[in-house]
Amino acid sequence: MLDNLPRGTICIEDIEMGMSRHLRKVVTDDDIEMFAQVSTDRNPVHLDDDYARDTIFEGRIAHGMLTAGLISAVIGEQLPGHGTVYMGQSLKFLAPVRPGDLVYAEVKVIDIDFAKRRVKLDCHCSVEGKKVLVGEAMVLAPSRKFD
């Protein structure tokens, strides 16, 4: 039995259809700059106000993968939580996220394969109730049966 699982980790044995978890985060200029540093994606639409003003977005936007990272945070920290292994993720970006936006990221269980410990999650992010990202994730959930 895994007694060392972090609080909040949900093992495959306890996952149920429809279960969901979420987080809220304000995307800051520092977040965008740090993501650019880590990813090496220094596209000026993310970093340069003057450049971005003349694009279809009419201003700076966060990296799409920074927004997608919030989905990863919900999966890795809450559902299923620590010990989860990402197997795949589909993403569709519907609208930009701007510096200062409060992003709501949510995942919801839509399929479970208990024998293989696989969980399919519906994923979305929204800003002010408008979806900015949708997709699905397939993860390998932790189990109490493995040390």
**pTM across the whole model:** 0.92
pLDDT tens, 17-42? 999 999 999 999 999 999 999 999 99
For domain 14-140, the question of CATH label 3.10.129.10 is answered with yes
Is the distance from CB of 82 to CB of 74 less than 8 angstroms?
Answer: no
What is the domain partition of the chain in residue ranges? 14-140
CA torsion sign for 25, 28, 30, 33 is positive
Instruction: Give the pLDDT band (50/70/90) at residue 145.
Output: confident
State how far Cα 78 lies from the chain centre.
11
